């Protein structure tokens, strides 16, 4: 469990560092720049997810007895547990960012979304309804829940793919008791 937690912590930490870099570079203080921040955050999050799931699964495989199969299921479980640890830690980093570090981010997100909707030609009444919905989904509990579920979803997809490459059959000579 220590390996999963360690790599999950690094995955969540890398995501938080990227968020802070985007914040300090001003991407989270201007609605016009926010869509660029979302793209950078998504690509960065995917890269961090792949990197730490692969590294953590390899570390877990190295701990596994050589005489036993490190099956697809074992590799998937390792990736999933790393993802689970990162998603749980992400709840806290998300809350910290939204409530303490950058409490104005919700207004930036609302404005960025409204600007996109306005460009599509929505009426004032439609814009008002859309704003209520956006604000509802930006409540702390909702952002934490969606962050957790989204992190688990994408981490599971990555784990399913990487497990195919990171499984390892048992070494037959050790399994049969032969010594070369």
Q: How many CA atoms lie within 13 A of 173 on its CB side?
A: 3
pLDDT digits (tens, 9 = 90+) for 8-48: 999 999 999 999 999 999 999 998 899 999 999 999 999 99
Q: Would you say residue 115 has pLDDT above 80?
A: yes
pLDDT digits (tens, 9 = 90+) for 68-112: 999 999 999 999 999 999 999 999 999 999 999 999 999 999 999
Torsion angle of C-alpha atoms 137, 106, 146, 155, degrees rounded to 10:
160
**What's the token pair of residue 34?**
């926010």
Calpha distance 28→21 (Å, rounded): 10
Percent of the chain having pLDDT more than 70? 96
Calpha distance 41→144 (Å, rounded): 16
**Residue 172: what pLDDT?**
72
Q: Which residues contact 122 (CB under 8 A, 6 or more apart)?
A: 130
């Amino acid at each position: 469990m220590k390996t999963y937690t360690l790599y999950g912590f690094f995955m969540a930490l890398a995501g938080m560092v990227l968020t802070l870099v985007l914040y300090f570079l001003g991407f989270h203080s201007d609605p016009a720049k926010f869509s660029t921040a979302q793209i950078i955050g998504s690509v960065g999050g995917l890269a961090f997810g792949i990197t730490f799931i692969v590294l953590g699964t390899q570390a877990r495989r190295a701990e596994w007895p050589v005489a036993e199969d490190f099956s697809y299921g074992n590799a998937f479980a390792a990736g999933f547990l790393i993802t689970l640890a990162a998603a749980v830690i992400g709840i806290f980093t998300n809350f910290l960012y939204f409530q303490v570090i950058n409490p104005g981010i919700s207004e930036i997100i609302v404005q960025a979304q409204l600007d996109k909707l306005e460009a599509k030609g929505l009426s004032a009444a439609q814009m008002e309804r859309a704003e209520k919905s956006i604000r509802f989904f930006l409540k702390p509990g909702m952002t934490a829940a969606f962050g957790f579920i989204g992190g688990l979803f994408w981490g599971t997809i990555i784990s399913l793919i990487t497990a195919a490459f990171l499984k390892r059959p048992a070494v037959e000579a050790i399994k049969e008791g032969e010594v070369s």
